Amino acid sequence: MSDWTFPKGDLMKGKRGLVMGVANDRSIAWGISQQLAAQGADIAFTYQGEALERRVRPLIESIGMTTMISADVTNDAEMDTAFAQLKDKFGAIDFLVHAIAFAGKEELQGSFVANTTREGFRRAMDISVYSFVDAAKRASAMMPDGGSIVTLTYLGAERVIPAYNVMGVAKAGLEAATRYAARDLGKQGIRVNAISAGPMRTLAMAGIRGGKQLMTTGREWSFLKEDTSMEGVAGCALYLLSPLGQSITGEVVHVDAGMHVMGIPETPEGGSAA
């Protein structure tokens, strides 16, 4: 089991919401869920198909939650059923966490130009970007009193990260979608933001060729000289999803120990390595 610790309190007391993207106890969605639960939130979960149910159920039960709904985001009928079940259970919701992305292993290595196929591109965009738009549409229809939506992105949207390839293009789309959704849903009092997390050791990271090196570089380039912490990412999600995040929308917040600000690597003596 994961060994993170999260502050307890009442910031999310009386708030209900949906978390999409828990696959195991290293998932970013799981860290965020634990933090939200520690602040009193009532959470429903979607998971990707029956294969994951056995892994996810004990996790959510460990934080006192019971609502688990199977939803493959590429399947409209499953999404219809999932949100109908959510409506039956909660009626209205206050927040949505979208922590879902996918690209084929063959696309997450080598040359972006050579390795990106039409089908691979379509699949990455569908699962990693359209699913956010679709979930935001469905969730916002259940937020009569306003709400807050958070998705997860990565620096590969803004800069070239070797091997991140089509996923970088997808994350650029996701960040743009965050801004457009924030504009549309602002009228309903719904805030929409993205967290750009530094490299973290999860299942999704394991699919990227050289993922281990991404972790090492992330640490070395960061100002704090440390890995991105689950506590930091979950804390940021809590801030954006709770009343603390009032007035913040259409934003991409970096939680990466300062790595994204660094221009070029430095030598151990503090000089420029380039």
Ligand X SMILES: NC(=O)c1ccc[n+]([C@@H]2O[C@H](COP(=O)([O-])OP(=O)(O)OC[C@H]3O[C@@H](n4cnc5c(N)ncnc54)[C@H](O)[C@@H]3O)[C@@H](O)[C@H]2O)c1
Q: Which of 47, 130, 154, 239 is catalytic?
A: 154
CB of 100 to ligand X, least distance (A): 4
Give residues with Cβ within 8 angstroms of 247, minimum separation 6: none
d(C-alpha 116, C-alpha 119), whole Å: 8
- Using CB under 6 A as the binding rule, whether residue 158 contacts ligand X is answered as no
Which range in 21-29, 184-192, 243-251, 264-272 contacts ligand X by CB under 6 A? 21-29
d(C-alpha 15, C-alpha 120), whole Å: 38
Which range in 178-186, 203-211, 234-242, 264-272 contacts ligand X by CB under 6 A? 203-211
Residue with tokens 């690209």: 103
Burial letters 206-225, b for 16+ CB under 10 A, else e: ebbbebeebbebbbebbeee
CB of 207 to ligand X, least distance (A): 8
Q: Between 41 and 129, name the residue whose CB sits nearer to ligand X.
A: 129
Q: What is the DSSP string of 107-165?
A: GSSS-HHHH--HHHHHHHHIIIIIHHHHHHHHHHTT-TT-EEEEEEE-GGGTS--TTTH
- Using CB under 6 A as the binding rule, whether residue 79 contacts ligand X is answered as no
CB of 152 to ligand X, least distance (A): 3
Give residues with Cβ within 8 angstroms of 88, minimum separation 6: none
Instruction: Say whether 180 sits in a helix, a strand or coil.
Output: helix
Q: Which of 47, 130, 164, 239 is catalytic?
A: 164
Q: Residue 148, Cβ neighbours under 10 Å: how many?
A: 26
For the question of residue 154 being annotated catalytic, the response is yes
Q: Between 186 and 258, name the residue whose CB sits nearer to ligand X.
A: 258
- Using CB under 6 A as the binding rule, whether residue 101 contacts ligand X is answered as yes
- Using CB under 6 A as the binding rule, whether residue 72 contacts ligand X is answered as yes
Q: Between 121 and 186, name the residue whose CB sits nearer to ligand X.
A: 121
CB of 48 to ligand X, least distance (A): 3
- Where do contacts with ligand X occur on this chain (CB under 6 A)? 21-23, 27-29, 48, 72-74, 99-102, 127, 152-154, 197, 199-200, 202-205
